[in-house]
Amino acid sequence: MKTKLGPKLERLFELIPNGYEVIWDTCCDHGKLGLACLEKEKAKKVIFVDQVPGIMKALEAKLTKIGELSPNRYELQTIPAQKIQLEKKKNLICICGVGGEEIIDIIKNLKGEFDLLLSPQYHLFEVRRFLNELGFKLIKEELCFEGKFGRELLFVSKKGERDIDPIGKELFDLTNERHLSYVNGITQHLKKIKSEEALKFYQKLIP
């Protein structure tokens, strides 16, 4: 694979199974995830979405340099992700590197059938609660570290089989120092912002 991915994008990429007709990359790290999906033919088509024209122009230049890549296999849409119009196909929407409130806003505006691959930077509790309200189920979740920062990865579908835990408690091995530090960091933040509902779930984890 020519496109180099960091630890988080590498894990997200590996979570994506073959078989989707359309993968939507809401420009996770300037479209790198979608580029990797094109190179490994993870889907028949990849649609890149970002509202920043400069990012899309740079991405288009990269795509045109891939000589063996048919233009029918990708599309670029310079729009806010909230304005995505889904094709009536098997869709996977990847939203990574933005806050949970923005992720929720994007999903609220989607119409049609789709699976989701998410990595929220903030408001994880709210994202999980929102997904439960919409009837999504868990396919896979992971905790990935990039340097000192932990990132939760969520792969969900309405055809999944497992309930989405409010905090993803099965992700955490509290004998692992990085996991414990990650959970403590979230707990301290929740105390600071007085988010009592979320805090009570995390406090149950820590002896």
- pLDDT tens for 64-88 read 888 678 889 999 999 999 999 998 9
**Average pLDDT of the residues in 184-207:** 93
Q: How much is the pTM?
A: 0.95
CA atoms within 13 A on the CB side of 108: 8
Give, in order, the Cα–Cα distances in Å from 181 to each of 39, 147, 175: 36, 13, 10
pLDDT for res 65: 85
The residues with which 96 forms a beta bridge, in sequence order, are 119
**Average pLDDT of the residues in 176-199:** 96
CB 119 within 8 Å of CB 153: yes
Domain layout of the chain by residue ranges: 7-166, 172-207
Closest Cα partner for 154 from 180, 127, 178? 127
pLDDT for res 103: 97
Of the options 3.40.50.150, 3.40.50.970, 3.30.70.20, 3.90.1150.10, the CATH number for the domain spanning 7-166: 3.40.50.150
pLDDT tens per residue across span 90-142? 999 999 989 999 999 999 999 999 999 999 999 999 999 999 999 999 999 99
**Who has greater pLDDT, 69 or 153?**
153
pLDDT for res 70: 87
